[in-house]
């Protein structure tokens, strides 16, 4: 049975091997492979510099961090008062308590994206009050989740539906563009 012929190494493979071999100590009687001469760089004619176009509209300001229960910028007082007092009823609800934090986050993420795509304006997120002094994990994490770059552009405002119910948060979603 004849052995198959070995393929010759390409120039790139030889260069890679030579660079690697320089990092190790050769055996007695062996030499470190030498690097072949690199080909001369191609000459490229300089391109004329193009002038940068100035934006016609000013860039939007950075969106401020969302805080539950605080009046956000970009929402008039009448709408905020209607939303805060519960006169704007929630169209969808998701119950997150009893889930692990990771599952709750993924459920919230998909819920908000779907609600925003369906032009839903107000949603309610039930986190549960939690057993500790500061509440449960989901209740503590929810404001941070809402301020993530993927969710913050979707949410305009957040508040508790009633002061005696800290285990639930109502969200006012932005209108889709």
Mean pLDDT, residues 140-151:
88
Higher local confidence (pLDDT), 20 or 61: 20
Residue 105 within any structural domain of the chain: yes
- The torsion angles phi and psi of 118, rounded to 5 degrees, stand at -90, 10
Q: How far is CA 167 from the centre of its chain?
A: 26
Residue 143 within any structural domain of the chain: yes
Task: Name which of 37-41, 65-69, 70-74, 104-108 the model is least confident about.
Answer: 37-41
Residue 32 within any structural domain of the chain: no
| Beta pairing class for 92-95 and 122-126 | parallel
The residues, any chain, with a CB within 8 Å of residue 111's CB and separated by 6 or more, are: 92, 94, 123, 125
Residue 156 within any structural domain of the chain: yes
Q: Angle CA(127)–CA(148)–CA(110) in degrees, nearest 5? A: 60
CATH code of the domain in which 94 resides: 3.30.1370.110
- Give residue-wise pLDDT tens across range 105-141: 999 999 999 999 999 989 998 888 777 666 678 888 8
pLDDT band at 56; cut points 50, 70, 90: very low
The pLDDT, as a whole number, for residue 166 is 76
The pLDDT, as a whole number, for residue 115 is 92
Residue 8 within any structural domain of the chain: no
Higher local confidence (pLDDT), 80 or 38: 80
Q: Is 41's pLDDT higher than 50?
A: yes
Nearest to 99 by CA among 73, 126, 72: 126
- The torsion angles phi and psi of 155, rounded to 5 degrees, stand at -105, 130
In which domain, by residue range, is 84 found? 77-173
CB-CB contact of 146 with 152 (8 Å): yes
CB-CB contact of 90 with 82 (8 Å): no
Mean pLDDT, residues 71-77:
78
Please tell me the total count of domains within the chain: 1
Residue 81 within any structural domain of the chain: yes
């Amino acid at each position: 049975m004849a052995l198959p012929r070995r393929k010759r190494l390409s120039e790139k493979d030889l260069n890679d091997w030579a660079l690697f071999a320089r990092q190790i100590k050769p055996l007695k009687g062996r030499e470190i492979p030498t690097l072949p001469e690199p080909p001369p760089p191609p000459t490229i004619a300089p391109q004329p510099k193009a002038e940068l176009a100035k934006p016609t509209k000013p860039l939007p300001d950075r969106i401020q961090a969302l805080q539950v229960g605080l009046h956000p910028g970009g929402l008039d007082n009448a709408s905020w008062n209607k939303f805060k007092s519960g006169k704007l009823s929630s169209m969808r609800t998701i119950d997150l308590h009893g889930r692990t934090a990771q599952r709750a986050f993924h459920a919230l993420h998909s819920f908000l994206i779907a609600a925003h795509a369906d032009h839903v304006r107000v949603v309610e997120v039930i986190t549960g009050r939690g057993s500790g002094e500061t509440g449960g994990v989901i209740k503590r994490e929810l404001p941070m989740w809402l301020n993530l770059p993927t969710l913050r552009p979707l949410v305009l405002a957040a508040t508790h539906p009633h002061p005696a119910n800290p285990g639930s948060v109502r969200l006012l979603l932005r209108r889709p563009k």
